Amino acid sequence: MGFLDQISKQISQGVDRAKFEAEKFQKTTRLQGEVNEVQRQVDTRMYELGQRAYELLRAGQIHSASLNELSAAIDQLRSSLVAKEEELKQAQTEVFVEPPPTYTPPPPSQQVPISYETPPASDPYTPPPPTKVCGACGFQMPVTAMFCPNCGSRVA
């Protein structure tokens, strides 16, 4: 058997295995769907049976201690359900209320020199330089400032 024959045989076996696995997957998926459908039908019938037994118990047509306990638990759960549904309705109708805007003064900031100009030594009293107010935070700064030393906003 030549080298190409061996490769051909391996490829054929690989294809057969892939085909088998695909068919197996398809079959198991179909069967799982069928199992799920039958389980759903069983659950539906069990629900209907329970509902009918509950109605008969409430009507006084059957008597059983264990069914009475289950019935009381169901009644308690239904009361809880009604309360939770009401709570949900209230939560759904809540609206956000915007708080009124309040002005909070900016925190005191460190005095940052804007320029290194010093008053002449011969002048004992130099009036304070003119100032301007930052439009963003209200900080007073020298007129020569390009940026607010408090909040960093550009000022004109």
- pLDDT tens, position by position, 89-144: 999 998 888 888 887 777 776 565 555 555 555 666 667 778 899 989 999 888 88
Q: Residue for token digits 């290194």?
A: 116
Q: Looking at the domain assignment, is residue 132 inside a domain?
A: no
Q: Looking at the domain assignment, is residue 71 inside a domain?
A: no
Q: Looking at the domain assignment, is residue 119 inside a domain?
A: no
Q: Looking at the domain assignment, is residue 10 inside a domain?
A: yes
Q: For residues 36 and 155, which has the higher predicted lDDT (pLDDT)?
A: 36
Give the mean model confidence (pLDDT) for residues 70-83. Answer: 91
- pTM for this entry: 0.43
- Domains held by the chain: number: 1
Separation of alpha carbons 29 and 99, rounded Å:
57
Mean pLDDT of the chain: 86
For 10-19, 72-81, 113-122, which range has the lowest pLDDT when averaged over its residues? 113-122
Q: Looking at the domain assignment, is residue 22 inside a domain?
A: yes
Q: Looking at the domain assignment, is residue 84 inside a domain?
A: no
3-state SS class at 154: strand
Q: Looking at the domain assignment, is residue 133 inside a domain?
A: no
Give the mean model confidence (pLDDT) for residues 69-78. Answer: 91
Separation of alpha carbons 90 and 150, rounded Å:
45
Give the mean model confidence (pLDDT) for residues 48-66. Answer: 91
> pLDDT tier at 76 (50, 70, 90 boundaries)?
very high
Q: Residue 112's pLDDT is what?
A: 59
**C-alpha 85: how far from chain center:** 22
Where are the extended beta strands (E) located within the chain? Answer: 131-133, 140-142
Among 134, 137, 130, 136, residue whose Cα is nearest residue 146: 134
Q: Looking at the domain assignment, is residue 139 inside a domain?
A: no
Q: Residue 38's pLDDT is what?
A: 94
Q: Residue 51's pLDDT is what?
A: 92
Q: Residue 144's pLDDT is what?
A: 86
Q: Residue 142's pLDDT is what?
A: 87
Helices (H) and strands (E) counted in the chain, each on its own, are: 2, 2
